[in-house]
């Protein structure tokens, strides 16, 4: 027994409809995935890049103040006060570094931040140095030179960390652009699928009317 032609057509239409519905459903799932990716990118740009850049700026500022105090300690009337200020700046830097460490660090960031922290803790603790200046002997040039060398190393690490923020920010922006472009392509495909869906529904209604009219005749 042969299957009526109209039934075959309806079966084919049902298969196409099912496929189109699956495509539209898949598009919705992809949209949610893209939205989550964009949201994660925006959060990362803010929390792990912009905020981190403010940490780097704060650390750099404190480091610069330490350098000024070290290089001009003989201008201060109370040398002990200078040491207290330097220790306070060092503590502020370490607190900021601890906050920095809670962000989503890349491998490169972890390396440079670890090196920077080591310099601050092991090489720049002013309490570990011999007197940088005394009224009797004046400035201890050798100690100041050593201290400044470590400061320069620390500044180099900060510069590299700052460059990483730019590179990572650019990478996140590129990824976001790819997600947006991908969504646009799928949106166009979805429009085409909906148009086909409407066309098939129209054809089904039209053929059903023809079959009904033929039966009446």
Q: What are phi and psi of 145, to 5 degrees?
A: -65, -45
Per run of 10 residues, the mean pLDDT along the chain (length 217 residues) is: 55 71 73 68 64 89 88 61 84 93 88 93 77 66 84 92 84 73 73 75 66 48
Residue 16 near residue 200, CB atoms below 8 Å: yes
What is the phi/psi pair of residue 80, to 5°? -60, -35
pLDDT of residue 76: 53
What is residue 215's predicted lDDT score, i.e. its pLDDT?
44
Distance CA 102, CA 124 (A): 23
Domains along the sequence of the chain with CATH:
5-216 (1.20.1330.10)
pLDDT for 189 equals: 73
Q: What pLDDT score was predicted for residue 111?
A: 93
Residue 62: its pLDDT value, please?
93
Phi then psi for residue 104, to 5 deg, are -80, 95
Report d(CA 90, CA 98) in Å as an integer.
12
Instruction: Please give the pLDDT value at position 137.
Output: 65
pTM above 0.75, yes or no: no
Measure the CA–CA gap between 60 and 154, rounded to whole angstroms. 9
Cα-based torsion angle of the residue sequence 184, 190, 191, 193 in order, rounded to the nearest 10 degrees = 150
């Amino acid at each position: 027994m042969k299957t009526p032609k109209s039934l075959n057509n309806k079966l084919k239409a049902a298969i196409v409809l099912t496929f189109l519905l699956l495509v539209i459903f898949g598009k919705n799932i992809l949209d949610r995935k893209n939205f989550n990716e964009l949201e994660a990118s925006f959060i990362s740009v803010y929390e792990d890049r912009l905020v981190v850049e403010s940490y780097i700026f704060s650390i750099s500022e404190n480091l610069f103040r330490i350098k000024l105090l070290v290089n001009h300690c003989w201008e201060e009337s109370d040398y002990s006060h200078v040491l207290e200020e330097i220790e306070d700046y060092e503590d502020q830097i370490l607190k900021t570094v601890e906050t920095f460490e809670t962000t989503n660090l890349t491998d490169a960031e972890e390396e440079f931040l670890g090196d920077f922290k080591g310099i601050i803790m092991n090489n720049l603790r002013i309490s570990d140095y011999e007197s940088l200046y005394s009224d009797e002997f004046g400035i201890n040039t050798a100690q100041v030179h050593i201290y400044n060398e470590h400061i320069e190393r620390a500044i180099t690490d900060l510069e590299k960390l700052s460059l990483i923020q730019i590179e990572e920010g650019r990478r996140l922006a590129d990824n976001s652009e790819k997600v947006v472009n991908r969504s646009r392509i799928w949106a166009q495909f979805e429009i085409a699928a909906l148009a086909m869906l409407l066309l098939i529904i129209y054809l089904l209604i039209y053929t059903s009317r023809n079959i009904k009219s033929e039966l009446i005749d």
